[in-house]
């Protein structure tokens, strides 16, 4: 029997997350086509990683840009889960998508723009699926914790926080990655905290260094945008690693994780 001290109160499907487990969740920011999604799934599977991120409902700042493939993507995600055995993390934006995604998505992502969508958070409190709660880009850590309470007080304790950078006056990166929040959240909650250096920096050049920095402050995982040909991606190509860079990243972080006594699960 594991002692509770070694566990988070978080389950992904039936898997209990243990302290020291490192959640590496790579994949395309947006799924554009099934073959593209499968190529990335193959890369992930071949590198013995268990999680896949893939956006199908995309919260875009402009209504005139690609909004994701939508409902059609649910079949693609289901296929990735069954063919490659990967655990699927994907964003929903609306309470009406909760039932639809029941057998396609294992970790429901609440994006930065929906961190304060309280009707969505309340509904997510009524289910048992793991929820990846991203930080709103203008939200304080206190507000972020209160958002998680909307889910937890409804009865769902399966919450993973994801720091994805905040808006500041600094414009050399897309957002400013607030790594202090990882330390503060780990002090104030007993939930896992992961980091998204892709959306934080907006630039693939910085993703590996920021990943290492996140591990240094004790992050429990990373959400990483990856495409085979990032420069032709419809969404967020500039911040996405190609397959070679992804393998470099894996090599670099693996060395650090050994030293930190953490293991990619």
- The nearer residue to Mn ion, 29 or 159, going by C-beta atoms, is 29
Binding marks (x or -) toward Mn ion, 67..106, rule CB under 5 A?
----------------------------------------
163 is in the binding site of which of ligand PEP, Mn ion, none (Cβ under 5 to 8 A by kind)?
none
Q: Which of residues 220-249 bind Mn ion (CB under 5 A)?
A: 236
59 is in the binding site of which of Mn ion, ligand PEP, none (Cβ under 5 to 8 A by kind)?
ligand PEP
As a whole number of Å, the end-to-end CA separation of the chain is: 19
Residue 204 C-alpha from the chain's centroid: 17
Report the alpha-carbon distance of residue 264 to residue 20 in Å, rounded: 9
192 is in the binding site of which of Mn ion, ligand PEP, none (Cβ under 5 to 8 A by kind)?
none
Partners of 242 in the beta sheet? none
CB 90 within 8 A of CB 108: yes
CB 152 within 8 A of CB 126: no
Whole-number minimum distance, CB 130 to ligand PEP, in Å?
15
Report the alpha-carbon distance of residue 188 to residue 206 in Å, rounded: 28
Whole-number minimum distance, CB 6 to ligand PEP, in Å?
29
Which residues bind to ligand PEP, rule: CB under 6 A?
29, 55, 59, 91, 111-113, 134, 164, 199
User: What are 52's two structure tokens?
Assistant: 């896949």
Binding marks (x or -) toward Mn ion, 25..64, rule CB under 5 A?
----x-----------------------------------
**With contacts defined by CB under 5 A, how many residues of the chain interact with Mn ion?**
2
Q: Which parts of the chain fold into alpha helices (H)?
A: 34-46, 72-84, 96-100, 118-124, 141-152, 180-188, 197-201, 207-216, 243-259
The total number of residues shown for the chain amounts to 265
CB 161 within 8 A of CB 133: yes
CB atoms within 10 A of CB 239: 25
What's the chain's Rg over C-alpha atoms? 17
157 is in the binding site of which of Mn ion, ligand PEP, none (Cβ under 5 to 8 A by kind)?
none
- The nearer residue to ligand PEP, 213 or 256, going by C-beta atoms, is 213
Binding marks (x or -) toward Mn ion, 185..224, rule CB under 5 A?
----------------------------------------
- The nearer residue to ligand PEP, 46 or 168, going by C-beta atoms, is 168
- The nearer residue to ligand PEP, 12 or 112, going by C-beta atoms, is 112
Which residues of this chain interact with Mn ion, rule CB under 5 A? 29, 236
């Amino acid at each position: 029997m594991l002692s509770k001290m070694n566990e988070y109160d978080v389950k992904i499907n039936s898997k209990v997350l243990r302290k020291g487990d490192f959640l590496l969740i790579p994949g395309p920011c947006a799924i554009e086509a099934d073959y593209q999604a499968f190529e990335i799934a193959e890369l992930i599977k071949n590198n013995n990683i268990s999680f896949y991120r893939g956006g199908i409902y995309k919260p875009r700042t402009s209504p005139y840009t690609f909004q994701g493939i939508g409902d059609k993507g649910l079949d693609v995600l289901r296929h990735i889960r069954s063919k490659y055995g990967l655990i699927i993390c994907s964003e929903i934006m609306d309470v009406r998508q909760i039932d639809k995604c029941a057998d396609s998505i294992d970790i429901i992502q609440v994006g930065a723009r929906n961190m304060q969508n309280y009707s969505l958070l309340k509904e997510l409190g009524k289910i048992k699926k793991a929820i990846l709660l991203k930080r709103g880009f203008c939200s304080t850590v206190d507000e972020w914790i209160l958002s998680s309470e909307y889910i937890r007080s409804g009865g769902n304790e399966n919450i993973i926080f994801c720091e994805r950078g905040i808006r500041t006056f600094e414009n050399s990166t897309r957002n400013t990655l607030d790594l202090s929040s990882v330390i503060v959240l780990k002090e104030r909650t007993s939930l896992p905290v992961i980091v998204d250096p892709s959306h934080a920096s907006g630039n693939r050049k910085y993703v590996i260094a920021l990943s290492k920095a996140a591990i240094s402050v004790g992050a429990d995982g990373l959400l990483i945008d990856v495409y085979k040909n990032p420069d032709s991606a419809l969404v967020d190509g500039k911040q996405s690693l190609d397959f070679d860079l992804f393998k470099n990243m894996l090599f670099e972080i693996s060395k650090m994780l050994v030293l930190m006594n953490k293991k990619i699960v």
